[in-house]
Structure 1
Amino acid sequence: MRRAAELLAASLLIAGTSAFAQDAPIARTTDPLPAAAADAQRQLRQTFTNLSFEDFGPAPVKGAIYQATAGGRIIYFAPESGHLLFAAVYDKNGINVTAMAQDASARKRLGAIDPADALVIGPAGAPQVIEFTDPDCPYCQALDRFWAAKAAEGKPVQRLIYFVSTIHPDAAAKAEHILCSPDKEAAFKAVYAGAKPAVLLKCQAGQQKVAKDARTVSKMGIAGTPTLFVDGKLVSGFQQAELQAFLDQKGNADAQP
């Protein structure tokens, strides 16, 4: 159902025409609107033959639609009607052109990341992910628990960590505490597990790293946490199914002779 809804939204974006309900009779008249609607409905059936839909009606979106990148996500804007669309657009071959544009944007922005600046958590040689995170973000904490559970199953990853310190007021101080700790990985796991140190450590190196991460976040246009780059693709938020698929793919590749 979700894919069908995406395909329907995509076709409406592509067609850019008005329509009426499917169960209403399709009859050509001198009025151009019903004629355009009939043509659009017929084109939808012919182009996306596997799509089953019950209703077909006019969309609130009017006029030209423009594509933009915001926080790593592809969005669409219709200035005439003032609508902002978060949608997946498919072409007539069933290819998700929104995902292709988003991946291209991700690859371009990855050039702003210096892996040498990252806090590295996880074993060398494990599948690598780039992670923008916030110590006070509950979804980031849930993601940390997910990675720990996968590591316990023998599926660890190596995380290149960059801190986002502009969303929660204590994020910068907690990030600096982690970076100033003798065992940074242990401090990271403790803070993300909810530990509240009586005294947050401070040091020049930690301050500099937090500031440098902030500049990287700004260059990348990161607006939310967690934000990950997995195999060069952007993963916005804690998308467990997508991350599990990534681990399964890596596991299958390693298992092949």
Structure 2
Amino acid sequence: MRIADALCCAALALTHPAFAQDAPPSSSGEGLSDAAAKAEQDLRQTFTNLQFEEFGPAPVRGPIYQAIAGGRVLYFAPQSQHLLFAAVYDKNGLNLTAMAQDESARKRLGAINLADALIIGPAGAPKVIEFTDPDCPYCQALDRYWNAKAAEGKPVQRFVYFVSGIHPEAAAKAEHILCSADRLGAFKAIYAGARPAALAKCKAGADKVARDAATVRKMSISGTPTMFIDGKLISGFQQAELEAFLEAKKGGP
């Protein structure tokens, strides 16, 4: 199967406009069929806030289907064997892909046992479900971010689950954290880059790492950090989204 390059721009859901106007000529420099010319006219009339420099046939053929892999919404065109990494918007600017992704995330949240999480942060603070890897540099950057926000008086309560299948030492470091007398201190040290001479081991820690791995599989987590915040999936350290979350939670959990 061929896989299309990841698309940087959105795939647009076209509808017929409620008004008519003459469409400017195509800037592609090539003649278009009547159907293509009508499609270009619809595009320009429906999404009037965008300026389109080119218009022409796409390589995708036939019907397109929606699929979810690793919590991410993808689109598949079986006739032309293309996989589209795209965001679909309706004529009102709603991101239908994001809405489908969030709905999928809410459904999968039932697979998480919050009582089994490593909890970091004060009770009553805004809750964040966080899938993390001790050797993931973006996870380490996220931990520094949360620490900085706590110092500003904007703490969160993190429900932490370890992803141990990406980096070779992740499981051992997660077990070390869970087996330490001061788990919070061990977490902060490991995420700050500490390399203990010997990593702590214990059955309870190993069992917890195994349970986390099972939860990761159920949730189809494929990268770190992955967070669920207010029922919304956030893949990666998306600082702008986290800032918006904290701003929205200002004044109460």
TM-score by length of 1: 0.87
Give the stretch that moved more between structures: 80-89 or 95-104: 80-89
Q: Is the 8 A contact 1:133 1:161 kept in 2?
A: yes
Query: Where do residues 56-67 of structure 1 align in structure 2 (5 Å cutoff)?
Result: 56-67=55-66
Deviation by residue 1:196-227 (Cα, 9 ceiling, x = unmatched):
01110001110110000010000000011110
2:142 alignment partner, SS class: helix
1:178 pairs with 2:182: no
Which of residues 23, 26, 35 is equivalent to 2:27? Answer: 23
CA contact (8 A) 2:179 2:200 kept: yes
Counterpart contact for 2:175–2:201, Cα < 8 Å:
yes
1:114 aligns with 2:118: no
Task: Determine the structure 2 residue equivalent to 1:100.
Answer: 99
Two-structure CA RMSD over aligned residues (Å): 1.9
Q: Distance in 2 between matches of 1:24 and 1:166?
A: 47
Structure 1 stretches of 4+ moved >6 Å: none
AA aligned opposite 1:22: S
Structure 1 stretch displaced more, 105-114 or 95-104: 95-104
Q: Which runs of 5 or more structure 1 residues have no equivalent in the other structure?
A: 16-20, 28-32
The amino acid that maps onto 1:10 is A
Residues 24, 171 of structure 1: alpha-carbon distance in 2 compared, 3 angstrom cutoff: closer
Q: Which is helix-richer, 1 or 2?
A: 1
Contact 1:26 1:38 in 2 (8 A): no
Task: Tell me if the contact between 1:177 and 1:201 (Cα under 8 Å) persists in the aligned partners.
Answer: yes
- Where 1:58 maps in the other structure, the secondary structure is coil
Contact 2:28 2:55 in 1 (8 A): no
Matching residue's letter, 2:101 = Q
Structure 1 Cα separation of the partners of residues 163 and 63 of structure 2: 35
Deviation string 1:135-177 (CA, Å, 9 cap, x unpaired) is: 0111111111111111111111110000000111110000000
Give SS of 1:135's match. Answer: coil
How far apart in 2 are the matches of 1:187 and 1:139?
18
Cα drift, residue 105 of structure 1: 0.1
Are the counterparts in 1 of residues 28 and 56 from structure 2 also a CA contact under 8 Å? no
Q: Secondary structure at the match of 2:89?
A: coil
**Equivalence for 2:128:** 129
Partner Cα separation in structure 2 for residue 141 and residue 59 of structure 1: 41
Once the 2 structures are TM-superposed, how far is the Cα of residue 24 of structure 1 from its aligned partner? Answer: 5.4
User: Which segments of 5 or more consecutive residues in structure 2 lack a partner in the other structure?
Assistant: 1-7, 16-24
- Structure 2 Cα separation of the partners of residues 14 and 22 of structure 1: 17
1:72 paired residue number: 71
Q: Does 1:188 align with 2:192?
A: no
Q: Compared with structure 1, are the counterparts of its residues 22 and 173 closer, same or farther at alpha carbon in structure 2 (3 Å cutoff)?
A: same
Residue aligned with 2:88, SS: coil
Instruction: Please give the residue correspondences for 1:82-231 in structure 2 after superposition, counting only pairs within 5 Å.
Output: 82-231=81-230
Equivalent residues of 2:14, 2:91 under 8 A apart: no
8 A contact 1:163–1:175 mirrored in 2: yes
The count of aligned residue pairs is 237
Matches of 1:208 and 1:113, distance apart in 2:
16
1:38 corresponds to = 37
| TM-score with structure 2 setting the length | 0.89
Q: CA deviation at 1:56?
A: 1.3
